[in-house]
Amino acid sequence: MFGQPITDLDPHAANTAVDEASLIAKYLIFDTLVRRNGTAIEPSLATKWEQPDPTTWVFTLREGVNFHDGTPLTPDDVVASVKRIQAVTSAQTPLWKPVVSVEASGPNTVTFKTDSPLGTLPVNLTLLFIVPGKAADTAGFFTKPVGSGPYTVDSFVPSSVLKLKRAESYWGEAGKQPDIEMPYIAETSSSITSLSTGEVDLLWPIPADQVKEVEAIAEATVERIPSYVYYFNWFNCSRPPFTDPRVRRAMWHAVDIEKIVSTLYGAGAEVMTAPIPSTVFGYARQEPYKYDPDMASKLLSEAGMPDGFSTSLMWFAGTGPAATELAQAMISDWAKIGVKVEAQSIEKAQWLQRLNSLDWDMDLQTNTVTTGDADFTLGRLYTTAANRLGYSNKDLDAVLDKAHSVGDQGEREKLYAEACKTIWEDAAGIFPASIITAYGRRKKLEGFVPVASNQPDLSRVSLSTT
């Protein structure tokens, strides 16, 4: 079981790209044209793809694929799925905006046209789940949806439990386990008890302060892996005094990041050295900001605020592990240089409304680089056009636009290294910690492979009978 509830099974819902729990289920029920394997993009429903020109992509579909109800999966279903996801305003909207047309160009081909070269289209397609085009918009379809993935939906109670059964006619390698049950248990202590008794065979993520409890279970083991999940503390760069990069850098120098991360998370996190985790394609290590209150005070004086200033920090408690403690630790350090920060721990709905309307001074939250590619975070959040944190750097815009366009991965890597350096030196935010995910597994569960995405392939696991 995952530490968040599965709220819906519509793979094109507004929250799909950021709802990790639902994504785990959707990868079992539905298929995508391509899939990620480490840093590589591999065929799935599409067996091959080509670019006849810089703004055209042609994908050849696998023949003989059926949805769970026996209906053939066709290029028309791919077209319908693209149009569904484009019609919803969500975190994925910037990914699909450049796609100006998609059409069934043959009995087993789909052609995408983009408004400019789009080198990131294949990686974006790892998030495009294909649904039956004619049935998807019928009332109640997603209470028990039909996909073409390795498992079918047996029953679903939102935010409670999802039960899946192996799809016996799946086109690929059949699921190892005949059925999978994915319950949600709100209290971590209760879920650890369930792991101990055998009611649950896999549990993640385990909070750092409760890992020892799982390690003490004789029939269980703990596996850790650095993840795509990380914390950032954004500055509203359009609101004084955070319009001045000297103030932003002062705020970073004032916080003892290494001590805070070590104290709060131990082995459950690592100090970040870039605005994206080290597990993500495009990561480039930067020189950490040293904890230096004197330097922080000097920078504030240079910015005309020798006595500090008053501001606020908002977050919602459920954003990630020890979020409140992390906020309080930073607030405490800022007070030492005369910066008084009002703590605003608010409900998620209010937080989201204020975040999107730029009605905040500082915002603390976790984020997940869902595709494992820097474009999903850097290219989606830090452009002038995105205006997610009031930050604008025209040189950065040009770099990100080019990285978004080129197909050569080596060139993209160099461009994202440049982008990491700019965002880091501009101190658009403070990037304190990336999360190391701890998985608790019953020893009889075989075939499990922990992954940085927090989206392990559950179709490959099975229960030993010995």
Tens of pLDDT, residues 104-146: 999 999 999 999 999 899 999 999 999 999 888 898 899 999 9
Pick 20-143's CATH classification: 1.10.10.10, 3.40.50.2300, 3.90.76.10, 3.30.590.10. Answer: 3.90.76.10
The per-residue pLDDT for 18 is 66
- The model's pLDDT over 291-324, given as tens digits with 9 standing for 90+, comes to 999 999 999 999 999 999 999 999 998 788 899 9
Beta-sheet strands, E only, within 317-460: 339-345, 362-368, 429-430, 433-442, 445-446
Convert 39-58 to b/e letters by CB count within 10 Å (16 or more is b).
Answer: eebeebbbeebeeeeebebb
pLDDT of residue 17: 66
pLDDT confidence bin for 1, thresholds 50/70/90: low
Cα separation, 315 vs 260, whole angstroms = 17
Cα(136)–Cα(12) distance, integer angstroms: 10
Q: Domain 226-435 has what CATH class?
A: alpha beta
User: What is the reported pLDDT for 337?
Assistant: 98
Length of the chain: 466
Distance, C-alpha 203 to centroid of its chain: 19
Check pLDDT > 80 for residue 14.
no
Return the bridge partners of 366, or none: 231
Q: What pairs with residue 166 in β-bridges?
A: 151
Contact in structure between 59 and 49 (CB atoms under 8 Å): yes
CA of 221: how far to CAs of 3, 135, 211, 216, 399, in Å? 17, 43, 10, 9, 44
78 closest CA partner among 53, 57, 93: 57
Superfamily of domain 159-224+439-446, CATH level 4: Periplasmic binding protein-like II (3.40.190.10)
pLDDT tens string 180-225: 999 998 888 999 999 999 999 999 999 888 999 999 999 999 999 9
Q: State residue 444's pLDDT score.
A: 95
Strand partners, 255: none
Q: Which of the residue ranges 9-18, 211-220, 396-405, 421-430 would you say has the lowest mean pLDDT? A: 9-18
pLDDT at 130 (0 to 100): 97
Helices within 87-235 (DSSP H only):
93-96, 121-124, 188-197, 211-215
- Find out whether 379 and 281 touch, Cβ atoms under 8 Å: no
Chain mean position to CA 428? 20
User: How is residue 116 written in tokens?
Assistant: 């400019």
Contact by Cβ (8 Å): 303, 244: yes
Q: What percent of the chain has pLDDT over 70?
A: 99
The answer to whether the beta carbons of residues 433 and 269 sit under 8 Å apart is: yes
Q: What is the pLDDT of residues 35-93, one digit of tens each?
A: 988 778 999 999 999 999 999 999 999 999 999 999 999 999 999 999 999 998 887 88
Strands (E) located in 185-288: 202-203, 220-235, 269-271
Residue 19 has pLDDT above 80, yes or no: no
What's the rounded mean pLDDT across residues 231-258?
A: 98
The Cα 38–Cα 49 span in angstroms is 19
Helix, strand, coil percentages in the chain from 3-state DSSP, rounded to 5: 30, 25, 40
Instruction: Report pLDDT for 2.
Output: 79
Q: What is the pLDDT of residues 360-379, one digit of tens each?
A: 999 999 999 988 999 999 99
- Taking the C-alpha atoms of residue 12 and residue 403, their distance in angstroms, rounded to an integer, is 26
Which of 167, 163, 198 has the alpha carbon at shortest distance from 184?
A: 163
Judge whether 254 and 337 are in contact, CB under 8 Å. Answer: yes
List the domain boundaries for the chain.
20-143, 159-224+439-446, 226-435
Q: Phi, psi at residue 110, to the nearest 5°?
A: -130, 130
Mean pLDDT of the chain, nearest integer: 94
- pLDDT value, residue 326: 97
